Amino acid sequence: MTFPAPIEVLPHRAPFLLLDLVTDLRLGEGAVGEWHLSGNEEFFIGHFPGRPTLPGVLMLEAIAQLGAYAVLSDPTHAGKLPLFGGVEKARFRRQVVPGDTLRLEITLGRMSARAGKGSGRALVGDAVACEAEILFVFADAD
């Protein structure tokens, strides 16, 4: 099954669209996607010279963007903008470097008309690079 490109669902744009592809979507439940790191991303220049490493906060943002994709794919949330409300239990377990592909996974939890929660992780191959609980609040997209 093919899903709409992230740019068709999310309000994010380059250089801050950190989701390349959605490979699975279960409305109201969660999603799986990918972010391919070519090594040409500008943050690698300064983080860190001689040893480029993906910043952990960008892994969290990529997980959150996949969560936003899952939420915004549900017509119930049309016209809304999910914003970060918090991050809990974040753990970074593996360095991510140029050339890696992050497989992103999010499972949606509690949802209300005003906020929600998801549990996500980023993996390289079978190795967990990052995991966290993401809290978000809805704003009007206008």
Residues 6+ apart with CB under 8 A from 20: 6, 33, 34, 35, 36
Closest among 94, 88, 84, 83 to 123, alpha carbons compared: 94
Closest among 6, 7, 14, 11 to 141, alpha carbons compared: 11
Confirm whether 47 is a catalytic residue.
Answer: yes
List, in sequence order, the alpha helices (H) in 30-138.
43-46, 56-72
Among the listed residues 12, 36, 47, 77, the single catalytic one is 47
Closest among 111, 109, 134, 139 to 30, alpha carbons compared: 109
Catalytic residues: 47
